[in-house]
Amino acid sequence: MARKLTSTERRAQRNRTRLKSNVGDGRLRLSVFRSSKNISAQLIDDKKGVTVASASSLEEAVKAKGSNKTGAAAVGKLIAERALKAGQKSVVFDRGRYLFHGRVKALADAAREGGLDF
Is the confidence at residue 76, as pLDDT, over 70? yes
- Between 11 and 41, where is the model more confident? 41
Q: Per-residue pLDDT for 110 more than 70?
A: yes
The per-residue pLDDT for 55 is 95
Q: Give 15's pLDDT tier (boundaries 50, 70, 90).
A: confident
Which residue segment(s) compose the domain that 62 sits in? 26-113
- Structurally, the chain folds into a number of domains equal to 1
Residue 17 has a pLDDT of: 84
Q: What's the rounded Cα separation, in Å, for the pair 110 and 62?
A: 13
Is the confidence at residue 22, as pLDDT, over 90? no
CATH of the domain at 38: 3.30.420.100
Question: How many Å apart are CA 68 and CA 65, to the nearest integer?
Answer: 8
Count Cα neighbours of 28 within 13 Å in the Cβ-side half-sphere: 26
Instruction: Report the pLDDT value the prediction gives residue 86, as an integer from 0 to 100.
Output: 93
| 1 part of a folded domain | no
pTM for this predicted structure: 0.87
Q: How far apart are the first and last CA of the chain?
A: 39
Q: Residue 32: inside a domain, yes or no?
A: yes
Residue 25 scores a pLDDT above 80: no
Does any domain span residue 109? yes
